[in-house]
Structure 1
């Protein structure tokens, strides 16, 4: 039993080492392509389970969020991206895992809840797919609300504003964390699922407005 624990510890250390190596490589590439402005990173809890809820405008979003934080993060990524093996290996090295779109991917939800149960940080995109118009928010899917209500993790809203073009400036703003609680949902007179969804939506819209203000004044 003791030897098994040592082996598992070594695997964990090696996996974390690969994460930071991969993140360093991603940071170098991203800063070559884009001018990245980050604000509010001090809002991210230094310990405990955290769900980063972000607006979604590009496939680059999870990577840019990951390199903007000190703590290691995990994130869901559409399974199609893993079909190109070099890209899939890079995504896995920075703790990305696949999710099937358009359905209830129980395996991905189970993985996400496991990460949160171990006090990890999970990046999710409540819109479910990229906002191709670049305006406001698309209708939110229920995945982020489900994870927030089940895990009791701190939720940090994130606003991202592009453009994602060569040498374009991308603004990332982290907002104040909040927790979805059954007691507060009860006080609101709605189910915890509906309360979680509307709260996440209102916080995302607020942080998006702040991010757009940053963009206008930069």
Structure 2
């Protein structure tokens, strides 16, 4: 595992984003940094999410990443150096499942966006859509916990104005929820438990930071068409 690439990328990311964004991190009651193997799940509102979630989880996370990104040789090599691994979003992917189990058996963190892509509003888990079953299935098979996480604000970076240095910086809010344990007999209930854990974390995060409607996720297309900050 090429930890040097992870650490270099994190350091480079901090240098680039510090003048642009203001990170707000919160650990909800019952939240705890995982000490062993675990699955990190989060809502997905922008392409920038994994980079910022690295600041929430103080250990390297091996993100399951849509296979289309690996088609470009340079991007694919960089993603593999970050310990990500490809997944087919359309069909069941036994290869990705096997790699995920291997990483967890090695005591690592595996990251999954259970929405299967960037989602906001009524098309998202927070808006009522059921999550894909990959995260809960992997948790059952590997007998590891799930760490629910949340990110708000990263979608603002789709607005060109967000990349201009100087105040005001783009606020990004991240939260970690209480660990979720999935038992072998919960096949039908596990996904709903995961969805409700993320929705409850969203409600608590909104209340904790006193977020306003414009702070909540919207589509990249909408963010590109208006100012990044209210």
TM exceeds 0.5?
yes
Determine which structure has the larger helix proportion and give its number.
1
SS at match of 2:151: strand
**Does structure 1 residue 74 correspond to structure 2 residue 62?**
yes
Aligned partners of 1:148 and 1:196 also within 8 Å: no
Alignment of 1:164 with 2:145, yes or no, is no
Q: Does the 8 Å contact 1:75/1:123 carry over to 2?
A: yes
Q: CA deviation at 1:164?
A: 2.6
Corresponding residue SS for 1:148: helix
Which secondary structure does the structure 1 equivalent of 2:148 belong to? strand
What's the counterpart of residue 78 of structure 2? Answer: 90
Answering whether residue 3 of structure 2 is matched by residue 19 of structure 1, we say no
Q: What TM-score does the superposition give when structure 2 sets the normalisation length?
A: 0.76
Deviation at 1:28, TM superposition (A): 2.6
Whole-angstrom distance in 2 between the partners of 1:122 and 1:106: 16
- Structure 1: unaligned runs, 5 residues or longer: 1-11, 186-191
Unpaired runs of 5+ residues, structure 2, are 163-168, 213-230
Bigger mean CA deviation after superposition, 50-59 or 64-73:
64-73
Q: What's the C-alpha RMSD, in Å, of the aligned pairs?
A: 2.3
* Cα shift at 1:116: 0.9
Q: Kindly tell me: are residues 178 and 132 of structure 1, through their superposed partners in 2, closer, same or farther at Cα, counting changes over 3 Å?
A: closer
Task: Indicate the residue corresponding to 2:18 in structure 1.
Answer: 31
Query: Residue 86 and residue 213 in structure 1: after superposition, are their counterparts in 2 closer, same or farther (change >3 A)?
Result: farther
8 Å CA contact 1:161–1:212 kept in 2: the answer is no
> For 2:23, what is the secondary structure of its paired residue?
strand
SS across alignment from 2:136: helix
1:155 aligns with 2:146: yes
Distance in 2 (alpha carbons) for counterparts of 1:29 and 1:195: 42
State TM-score, norm by structure 1.
0.80
Q: Equivalences for 1:112-191 in 2 at 5 Å?
A: 112-133=100-121, 136-137=126-127, 138-162=129-153, 163-165=155-157, 166=162, 167-182=169-184, 185=185
